[in-house]
Copies of this chain bind each other. A is one copy, B any other.
Amino acid sequence: MNRSATVQDYLKAIFAIGRDDAAAGTNAIAARLAVSAGSVTGMLKRLSGEGLVDYEPYRGVRLTGEGRAEAVRLVRRHRLIELFLVRVLGLPWDRVHEEAERLEHAATDELVDRMEELLGHPTVDPHGAPIPEVGRPFMEPAWPRLSEAPAGVRLVLRQVSDEDPEVLRYLERLGLMPGKELRVLGRAPMRGPLRVEVDGAVEHIGVEMANELRVEAGGAVTPERMRRAGRSGREEKAHA
């Protein structure tokens, strides 16, 4: 069954919003897809009719097994394409999200599988997000946010958000790519910027941004660890 590009976008949005547990609300979906709430209601009814979501009016939607499987397939496609664009075609990492967003609707499965092979079955995309494997259960990791990490501890940057090119260019300038070691030196009061040690230098990072940087506490930086941790789906520490 061939879903339209629009349907695919809705599935990915619902998956991203309801990642841990919750149902996705109409408004949240509308905001993410830059579409009106009314349009979302219409599409949710349709998806519900196709058995891809469980929809309770006024309470939001949740993916069904089938819907979730499809969403994971789409996430895999997106992340493989992003990595391909960076590694094979040398596109800058701040532009691959947008490009992949369009290519993922045009590429066949066969093409994506070839990319995966050519890349040697990679486990994470350029922003540190794990790449689902066909036929294996998948869960997004829940790395703690840099903004919640304790001071003084050695940290490894694991994942950054992939959507905002400006943010990505900024991070690149600071050397803040996945795998980088860092340490929180202190926090300014009133939710002020964090002082963070990176490569021996001290950087000042706003809370907004620190919220989007996911870290692992004290880990060494081996691909094998990344892989296991990325698939373990452990709890996120709620941390004052």
Contacts and interface: CB of A to CB of B under 8 A. Distances in A.
A89 interface: yes
Interface string A114-141: 1100100000000000000000000000
Contacts of A108: 99
Interface string A92-107: 0001000100110111
B111 A107 contact: no
A200 interface: no
Q: For A89, A91, A110, which residue has the most chain B Cβ atoms within 10 angstroms? A: A89
A83 to B, nearest CB: 14
22 contacts: A85-B111, A88-B88, A88-B118, A89-B111, A89-B114, A89-B115, A89-B118, A90-B114, A91-B110, A91-B111, A91-B114, A95-B110, A99-B107, A99-B108, A99-B111, A102-B106, A102-B107, A103-B103, A103-B106, A103-B107, A105-B106, A106-B106
A5 to B, nearest CB: 10
A102 B109 CA distance: 13
Contacts of A102: 106-107
Given A89-B118, A103-B103, 20 more contacts: A85-B111, A88-B88, A88-B118, A89-B111, A89-B114, A89-B115, A90-B114, A91-B110, A91-B111, A91-B114, A95-B110, A99-B107, A99-B108, A99-B111, A102-B106, A102-B107, A103-B106, A103-B107, A105-B106, A106-B106
Which of A85, A90, A111 neighbours the largest number of chain B CB atoms within 10 Å of its CB?
A111
A74 to B, nearest CB: 15
A142 to B, nearest CB: 32
Q: Which 5 A-B pairs have the closest CB atoms?
A: A106-B106, A102-B106, A89-B114, A103-B106, A99-B108
A82 B115 CA distance: 15
A85 to B, nearest CB: 7
